[in-house]
Structure 1
């Protein structure tokens, strides 16, 4: 059944200069001034609509597909849920797959425009080799764009760039030599724009490749990242050599300055007593064996002897580093400890009402997945959850310079709703809001949208 948009659009004046865009889609037929449509390769009519909120609130997009004529019924043809692959300026790249399609992914490029937003179905390259590309970069060129996918080459010391031009609607492949083979292969986990025609392919463990796509034959430059903090180094060694540090690292660029941040969490480990199993008894000692007792014993679970480990969050601290694009060194920035952050009383009271622990503090939340603002300020966004693998929590904004915290403003009657924030959900900071003709969604309606989205995913 189709769901309506979250009511009144709100009364906020102006649009935020940047937003945090949710990666996962809200699959429903909902429309506003941002709605744009396109035909898929399998003859589906696809609609994409954006719902903008002022950070630290998260902005959403809705996705709907149907056969002509367009209907408002929920489409069951989606084999892979739509998700954002990249966002830059007025452009957002989405990927999905239809059960009735040809088995290949479908890519859609949304272009924001205050008068006439548009949606374009991106054709596949002739060899269809995009399955190995999970990270894309978008290079805006006025109203046109280049779409760049990073693909491991056939040789161990090189890469392939899969480049799509919106001007001639064609793909091409550029070979790229590995500038630092001793480090190994860079596996991008994030792609950022570093300047006009320049992309940064970020591997949060091994470093970043800087690629100028305006060069006739692109050449990559390697930038290593600062070494992990001591506790993080041990965690990466214990968990897995291939584990990603993205949970506690981020990198962004603003006005030609690259900023890097790393968090280190303090965890208290509590060990409970061993549960001693019941010593088996010789049944001959019981004398008469009643059926009821025998049946009761068969239904009892065997108590195993084990030690239970409990992990409690005890705060975190973070440090930043900066560097100019052409420099060969990192400069230390600021350091901040969660104990030094000023938390508003209203948020502290909200925390105590969302947990069995009446004394729950911000420092005890599982705050991770840092996102640096791209507005040139010192704002850090964090996902903060009461439980490590929970889903009800908040996205908060920490001012690293002022050491203050801002959480999304919400009406008192809505406090009990919590927020649906999947622990692995990725948010894409972008400036799409500058190119849309829409007023930011009022906080109360944003909550309703989150709550509805949560129910949809649960079903």
Structure 2
């Protein structure tokens, strides 16, 4: 009789249930898109499901077993999901498949299987949304890889059919010696890995910061040929000219005047993702940074306090960061129509909705050169329900709100901003969600049609 699996290897029942879509605009949003969104907030963890739609693509695992991936998309601030299906292997997953990074038309994710003789436990795949029909590629393992290495993705110039998968290996030599780097690059055109030794352009200050640099989010693509590994408390380790013969390593420090979230020993006292985010805009090589400043940072998780959001931007060739917006929560207007979703925000004396009553988590910047900030929030830290809120920093107003279930999920590193939906063939039909409403809708419903009724309580 086989031994029971360890608890850590048993998938939660949540993993096998695609969540009902939540329409973020039922309460008066102003930016509902028609048809497919051009970018999404994609949940990093997959669901295990055989449902298919027009985004579905498949290939084979290293052992020759079929595997499929599908995406279930809604406009931000709604949360989009992806699902993975391996016929006959639904009980062989060790944890949920996970997105490592996404750039342009590409999404890189990994699948971890239970250890079995003759089967590779961790396997990586790249989904390409277009042009043409979506496709899925198995990525062969490189000759050398270290646990914890962060993968990056880079389209190969104007050749939308090909891409590069990159990870940057850094080695500490000594305190008086510069770091040693190795860039390992997989090219889809040749289906092979190669290694390069980048030229280091790090100052003494950069070297000192690099000693404590901890990558805490997927690498960002900067311009057409650079990737950045981000430490939200210190800076961006930038690998320029990735596809050239001699890549260059640089360091972009974060704004010097930013809020300090460090203790006396120089280490963060709260999760980095709870108060900062970095994003890049590929079209103009713009890098954006946002931080949340709380009146009482040591009780940030209690809510009911003042805070400010400060947005900065820079480019690789700029001398430093420019402050773009500074918005105080007391000045952010919330339309009264949102009282149906969050009546707890209502102040009977001022007869206004107060955003500062919420507990804030994980601010997120979009991948476009816009003024929008997305914030995960809760009314109570023990609640299973959270809300993703769009704040227009320029207008100082809430633009949209979408519900999100946190049951069984961590609030750090929960999502990836992705642009791949804009590369899907526009001739394909709209994205359809599998519906749990049974005979009420015949089994399938469009996201907007289903959820406007679910949220309003008509079903």
| Structure 1 residues 209 and 439: CA distance shift in structure 2, 3 A | same
The 3-state SS of whatever aligns with 2:339 is helix
TM-score relative to the length of structure 2: 0.76
TM-score relative to the length of structure 1: 0.76
Equivalent residue number for residue 73 of structure 2: 52
Structure 1 contact 135–149 (Cα < 8 Å) conserved: yes
Equivalent residue number for residue 321 of structure 1: 312
Q: Are 1:125 and 2:151 counterparts? A: no
CA distance, structure 1, for counterparts of residue 448 and residue 343 of structure 2: 21
| Structure 1 residues 206 and 17: CA distance shift in structure 2, 3 A | same
Root-mean-square deviation (Å): 3.5
| Structure 1 residues 199 and 44: CA distance shift in structure 2, 3 A | same
CA distance, structure 2, for counterparts of residue 393 and residue 243 of structure 1: 20
The 3-state SS of whatever aligns with 1:181 is helix
After alignment, is 189-198 or 422-431 more displaced?
Answer: 422-431
1:193 paired residue among 193, 207, 221: 221
Within 5 Å, give how 1:328-367 maps onto structure 2: 328-352=319-343, 361-367=354-360
Structure 1 contact 323–330 (Cα < 8 Å) conserved: yes
CA distance, structure 1, for counterparts of residue 194 and residue 311 of structure 2: 38
Cα deviation, residue 372, structure 1: 1.0
Q: Are 1:65 and 2:56 counterparts? A: no
Cα deviation, residue 389, structure 1: 5.7
The 3-state SS of whatever aligns with 2:385 is coil
Cα deviation, residue 139, structure 1: 3.5
Equivalent residue number for residue 112 of structure 2: 97
Larger Rg: 1
Name stretches of at least 5 consecutive residues in structure 1 with no aligned partner.
68-73, 271-308, 411-416, 451-459
| Structure 1 residues 318 and 54: CA distance shift in structure 2, 3 A | same
Equivalent residue number for residue 377 of structure 1: 370
CA distance, structure 2, for counterparts of residue 189 and residue 438 of structure 1: 36
The 3-state SS of whatever aligns with 2:304 is strand
CA distance, structure 1, for counterparts of residue 399 and residue 19 of structure 2: 26
Equivalent residue number for residue 442 of structure 1: 447
CA distance, structure 1, for counterparts of residue 209 and residue 141 of structure 2: 32
CA distance, structure 2, for counterparts of residue 435 and residue 367 of structure 1: 32
Cα deviation, residue 434, structure 1: 0.8
| Structure 1 residues 240 and 209: CA distance shift in structure 2, 3 A | closer
Q: Are 1:256 and 2:256 counterparts? A: no
1:13 paired residue among 34, 43, 46: 34
Equivalent residue number for residue 361 of structure 2: 368
| Structure 1 residues 362 and 6: CA distance shift in structure 2, 3 A | closer
Aligned length: 394
CA distance, structure 1, for counterparts of residue 78 and residue 371 of structure 2: 17
Equivalent residue number for residue 100 of structure 2: 85
Cα deviation, residue 349, structure 1: 3.6
Name stretches of at least 5 consecutive residues in structure 2 with no aligned partner.
1-12, 24-31, 432-445
Structure 2 contact 108–153 (Cα < 8 Å) conserved: no
The 3-state SS of whatever aligns with 2:368 is coil
